[in-house]
Chains A and B, each alone.
Chain A
């Protein structure tokens, strides 16, 4: 009986040690590979990164209101902002349905010499708010709207 208890305690302590070791190594691996785990950079984060000329990167933020203009039939330009900094984006192609001014967006492409982001791909980001259209309208009317337009 006592031996069984000792054995059990030994197995438990081995597992605890393994748990600590794996937690620490997991934490180190995750913090070391932070750059590759981030799916996109905000315009502010982009300022801190060097050597991005001609590298494919992704940027994300909100499409600034009333910034969307069409340059020609299929080419558009708009501004992505994160509250502090902003960046002009040019894109040729089909836009996702949820792409709107004031909405979250992720652009994949390259930054050119004039600091304009040339996007090859655009993804719309959805936020965590779910509500019926009538509720959204009512909130906007009463001035209790917290989200984006």
Chain B
């Protein structure tokens, strides 16, 4: 296992790996999302309380999971960047942030669309909704900060520190519904006494979650390739300037 890591740690080798791997990841993503959408929209029952509105969940919940998952992986990458000064960690973190921000935005928007018919409001400032909104702001801050410096290593350093600070929001998001009274309902799937969601609704939810996970993997590899190519171009440009 550590051999694979060592092998991929080299940016140019990682570039070759990314180039050959991402089409497969894209394919897996498309298959799972098509299956999940078909199952969720046509083959799963309405809810006994919400009726058909429940189908928003098949986009909302996986997006919210991914918002947390992407941030968790960025936290690990930032740790690698700050302590072990790993050359790829910053690139992976920088390439993850926009994907995480999009997942967070999807979770916020679909949640709002679900909230209007179910709760009777688009938005409230309860602990869950507010902490997820803060996560979105941290993602946007990361995207801006990493590009705010002339020296890209300085930007990466600052962004890694921001990521570690912001990681304290993760347990707050997860447990906000248990620690405080919120309008948002508590967890249905990931909880101690087993899921409280019917199996016919669980299947499309899991299919979509796997699809979204591979969305992240595929687009991460695409973003990393762009990032490494840009870096190479920059080097060539500087070389040319020096020659002239």
Contact = CB atoms under 8 A, between A and B. Distances in A.
Interface of A: 8, 11-12, 15, 18-19, 22-23, 26, 30, 34, 37-42, 60, 95-99, 103, 106, 121-137
25 contacts: A11-B82, A15-B82, A34-B180, A38-B127, A38-B180, A40-B181, A98-B49, A98-B50, A98-B118, A121-B121, A123-B119, A123-B120, A123-B183, A124-B118, A126-B50, A126-B118, A126-B185, A128-B196, A129-B196, A130-B57, A130-B196, A131-B197, A132-B48, A132-B201, A135-B48
A38 B125 CA distance: 10
Contacts of B191: 128
Contacts of A121: 121
A124 B114 CA distance: 12
B127 A122 contact: no
Contact of A124 (B57, B119, B168): B119
A132 B47 contact: yes
A123 B121 CA distance: 7
B168 A22 contact: yes
Given A60-B181, A128-B191, A133-B48, 16 more contacts: A15-B83, A15-B164, A19-B164, A37-B127, A39-B126, A39-B180, A39-B183, A98-B50, A124-B119, A125-B183, A126-B50, A127-B185, A129-B188, A130-B196, A131-B197, A132-B48
A103 B45 CA distance: 21
B48 A131 contact: yes
Nearest to B47: A130
Contacts of A11: 82-83
Contact of A39 (B117, B120, B181): B181
A26 B144 CA distance: 25
B43 to A, nearest CB: 12
Contact of A96 (B47, B119, B198): B119
Chain B binding surface, main DSSP class? loop
A18 B197 CA distance: 40
* Chain B interface size, under 10 / 10 to 19 / 20 to 34 / 35 or more: 35 or more
Q: Which of A60, A122, A132 has the most CB of B within 10 A?
A: A132
Contacts of A126: 49-50, 118-119, 185
Nearest to A60: B181
Contacts of A95: 120
Nearest to A148: B49
Contacts of B164: 15, 18-19
B5 interface: no
A130 B168 contact: no
Contact of A22 (B120, B165, B185): B165
Given A97-B118, A123-B183, A130-B196, A39 B127 contact: yes
A96 B45 contact: no
Given A132-B45, A133-B46, A37 B185 contact: no
Contacts of B117: 96-97
